[in-house]
Amino acid sequence: MRTHIAIVDVDRPDTWTRYRAGLCDSCAANCCTMPLEVRLPDLVRLGWVDAFEAEHEDIRRIAKRLEKARLIAHFSHKHALFTLARRASGDCQLLDAATRRCTVYAQRPDTCRLHPQTKSPRPGWCAYGPQALTKR
């Protein structure tokens, strides 16, 4: 008897699971392998930019400093969005590789706070799945 096991592909939202309370408890943090776009207030909350700098410094200079420090990979001036740098594995740099839990959960960016309910390629759905069965 063959058992079909669905494989989650973070790049294909049609393979995702409808979000429900408690789903994250047994997830392998698959959403933490997707590019993470954040805004300046998120960077202040993370402690990467101080409030004075955020208010008085040109945002492009801030982006340049963060790129040089390898904290961000890209900055879109048009949308004022910073894309955080990721590890070579594709994981978010804020994710603990061993526990698969966020190391800055209380300070996490709004994108993470609102995922998957609103900040998601497929709102209401998430790339939930056991790590061993997930295509990355």
- Same domain as 76, residue 64: yes
- Same domain as 79, residue 52: yes
Q: Residue 10: which pLDDT band, with cuts at 50, 70 and 90?
A: confident
Domain that holds residue 103: 1-34+88-136
> What gap in Å lies between CA 112 and CA 106, rounded to an integer?
11
Residue 123: what residue type?
P
- Same domain as 30, residue 93: yes
What is the percent of the chain where pLDDT is above 90? Answer: 57
Number of folded domains in the chain? 2
- Same domain as 136, residue 95: yes
Count CB neighbours of 17 within 10 A.
16
- Collect all residues with Cβ–Cβ distance below 8 Å to 94 and sequence separation of at least 6: 32, 84, 102, 103, 104, 108
- Please check the confidence at residue 4 and state whether its pLDDT lies above 80: no
- Same domain as 133, residue 96: yes
- Same domain as 27, residue 92: yes
Residue 84: phi and psi, rounded to 5, are: -65, 145
128-136 average pLDDT score: 54
- Same domain as 97, residue 78: no
Summarised one tens digit per residue, pLDDT across range 32-49 is: 998 999 999 999 999 999
Summarised one tens digit per residue, pLDDT across range 17-28 is: 888 888 888 888
- Same domain as 71, residue 4: no
- Same domain as 8, residue 44: no
Contact 19, 125 (CB under 8 A): yes
Task: Show which of 85, 101, 124 is a domain's final residue.
Answer: 85
- Same domain as 134, residue 109: yes
- Please check the confidence at residue 131 and state whether its pLDDT lies above 70: no
pLDDT of residue 121: 81
- Same domain as 46, residue 25: no
- Same domain as 109, residue 77: no
